[in-house]
Amino acid sequence: MKLLIIDEEFPYPLNSGKRIRSFNLARELAGLNEITYLAYGEVESPAARQLRDNDIKTEAVSPRDRKQSGPKFYTRLAANLYSDLPYIVTSHYTPRYAEKLATLMVQEKYDLVICEWTPYAVFVRDLPGIKKVIVAHNIESSIWQRYLATEKNPLKRFYISLQAKKVARFEQNCYRWVDGATAVSDAEARQITRFGGNYPVEVIANGVAVDYFAPREVSPDPDKLVFTGSMDWRPNQDAALFFVHEILPRIKEKRPEISVLFVGRKPPKKIKKLESVPGVTITGTVPDVRPFIADGSVYIVPLRIGGGSRLKILEAMAMRRPVVSTTVGAEGLEVTPDENILLADNPEGFAAAVLRCLNDHKLSRKLSDEGYRLVHRTYRWPELAKKFHNYLQGIVGR
């Protein structure tokens, strides 16, 4: 098939969950199809070249202003008050992107267009004569409802409540503009079906490059905890704040020497300030997360906001590290509590679960071994991409 993927950026380097998923599935699909990737960026950028090195054609649109601070950012936020569309849609829409897409539609005969993020469905709403699919990394409206539930600032709550309503309305509509959709979990597939699309929704789980995230023959630090995730994403910021302020003190009552690493790109000031707490390290961007995962005795996922499913958990499991997560953090994964993961949602329970892992080496080894088996059995990218390919073939042939 001849497929066009439209996205916000070329998904490289692989330093966020969305980029990891988008890159690996596109690379695997390119072995079975002719792929073109349209995104904001520069055609000669390292990210675009990395895609071309994997047999994916690239088409670039000059980048947007992506700063999330300053007068222009707040002007855009204010202007969105007068739009029926949510900010995650209007901030990504530009006439030049729409014109580039229209030009490609005339020049090329694609079999199908893939929206590699739900907000990009706005670009295909009125595209005639071609099949269209949305790849849902999350149920966006659920994330915004969780933002609202955890925000205490009255002004921010007001704005978030407006955005939550707009996002919910957009999702109710956009899945009816396309011919298919994929979700990362059964629960999210059921939610998309309720939005009213007249097609089956396929579950394409998140995966992991098991050869890359392989176990290392090193002894972890017995008093080190590790979290990895893009620190410019609000759910990860909330997780770090929640852990440091509400969970870590409870762990330190029993293990005062404990330390925790938060590894991920672009931490804002409020996250960097956490380093004032003894034992807390904020690394910022690192070239390779694997040494940090390997060095920790317990991998933590204290997420309270989120959707989709967590690549970070799969990576830790592939490296044979025991995982302690909230229920939200493990959503969408076929995990079994006390078999391959420990789950806890309140600060007391999460602290107790971490201490169990630190103090019970037999339990820690069991979680590590069973998590490793789960990943190799269920979450390998080539098998997931083949399932995606078959689904797309069915849509084109329908």
pLDDT in tens, 272-290: 999 999 999 999 999 999 9
Q: Is the pLDDT of residue 308 over 70?
A: no
**Exposed, middle or buried by CB within 10 Å (0-12, 13-18, 19+), for 371?**
buried
329 C-beta neighbours (distance < 10 Å), count: 25
Q: Could you read off the pLDDT of 84-99 as tens digits, one per residue?
A: 999 999 999 999 999 9
Q: Is the pLDDT of residue 182 over 60?
A: yes
Q: Is the pLDDT of residue 355 over 70?
A: yes
370 C-beta neighbours (distance < 10 Å), count: 18
82 C-beta neighbours (distance < 10 Å), count: 6
Q: Could you read off the pLDDT of 318-345 as tens digits, one per residue?
A: 999 999 999 999 988 999 999 999 999 9
- Mean pLDDT value of segment 103-108: 96
Q: Is the pLDDT of residue 264 over 70?
A: yes
* Tokens found for residue 174: 């956009």
Q: Is the pLDDT of residue 126 over 70?
A: yes
Domains and CATH numbers, the chain: 2-207+380-397 (3.40.50.2000), 221-378 (3.40.50.2000)
Whole-number percent of the chain with pLDDT over 90:
85
pLDDT-wise least confident of 131-140, 148-157, 285-294, 369-378? 148-157
pLDDT-wise least confident of 15-24, 39-48, 378-387? 15-24
User: Residue 299 in 3-state DSSP?
Assistant: strand
Residue 146 — pLDDT band, cuts 50, 70, 90?
Answer: confident
Q: Is the pLDDT of residue 44 over 90?
A: yes
Q: Is the pLDDT of residue 234 over 90?
A: no
Residue tagged 């972890």 (tokens): 220
- Check residue 320 and give left, alpha or beta (phi > 0: left; psi -120 to 50: alpha): left
pLDDT at 64: 82
- Mean pLDDT value of segment 385-393: 98
In the chain, the amino acid numbered 226 is V
pLDDT at 96: 97
Residue 307 — pLDDT band, cuts 50, 70, 90?
Answer: low
User: Would you give the DSSP letter of residue 110?
Assistant: -
Give alpha helix (H) positions in the chain. Answer: 17-30, 46-52, 71-79, 87-90, 95-107, 140-150, 154-174, 186-194, 234-242, 248-254, 269-272, 290-295, 311-318, 347-359, 361-378, 381-397
- Mean pLDDT value of segment 138-150: 89
- Top-confidence residue, 75 or 244: 244
Q: Is the pLDDT of residue 161 over 60?
A: yes
Q: Is the pLDDT of residue 309 over 60?
A: no
For all residues of the chain together, what is the average pLDDT?
A: 94
Residue 251 — pLDDT band, cuts 50, 70, 90?
Answer: very high
